[in-house]
Structure 1
Amino acid sequence: MIPAALVLFAALLASVHLARRWTLLRHFGDLAAIGRRSVRTLARSGVSDWSKERATRILAIRMMGKSLAAGGLLLMIALPIAAVLAIGPVAGIPTQDALFDPTARLSILAAGIALAFLRSRVRRLGLRHA
């Protein structure tokens, strides 16, 4: 079960790296900003309904585009985990069993916490580019 947990951990690291590299949270932040802008537009007084409708249509199109881009990005980021879960049993690694095994999940959690702690220490010491 430990090799399967290590493979899952590696896939999780790859997904986290992709999320950080492709700035996933920024994409969802942009989506939220468009939503806030549309609420402000609709709440404006002294503006004609025609202008509000036109602005709302334009913002809705932008929001749809950002939603599709963020969703596609989310699918691409989840691809390493999905690939490991699909290919693992074919390769003889019980990755799906490890996903539901409490011991394997705890070991993945412990390794993730240890890695995050180590990254924060390295960053704090200024050894980021060493």
Structure 2
Amino acid sequence: MNKLLYILILVVSMSCQRQQDINKQDQISLFKTQKSLIQPEYYNTVKSILAKDGIISNDSTAVKVVEQILFNMYGEDNIVKQRPYSVVLKHDSIWSIQGKLLNGWDGGVFYIELNKNTGKVEKIFHDK
């Protein structure tokens, strides 16, 4: 009977110790995560660093970005039919991209302006 009681006490104490170890590991993991995250106050003090030629530095990149936006809005089939696009860099900072209709087709085309430096969509519409 004493041996059984001794074994039971030993098992209970070992399981308590194991639970304490798990709790300590969780606390250490949480601490590491909190320390590795950038605190919100940090964002207010950091100035943006822009790429030398802008985030969207060439016409092919602009088209890839714009297509993803337009495919989601107007459908891929509708936008692909408007190729080849007219792509112009206005004022050295705004990509102006417009779809084209095939000769004899009725309907409208998309028009989108994308900021070369920030990637922001400045203007977007699809006429009829």
- The TM-score, its normalising length taken from structure 1, stands at 0.28
Structure ranking higher in helix proportion: 1
- The TM-score, its normalising length taken from structure 2, stands at 0.28
**Of the two structures, which has the highest relative contact order with CA contacts closer than 8 Å and spacing of 6 or more?**
1
Task: Give 1 or 2 for the bigger CA radius of gyration.
Answer: 2
Structure ranking higher in strand proportion: 2
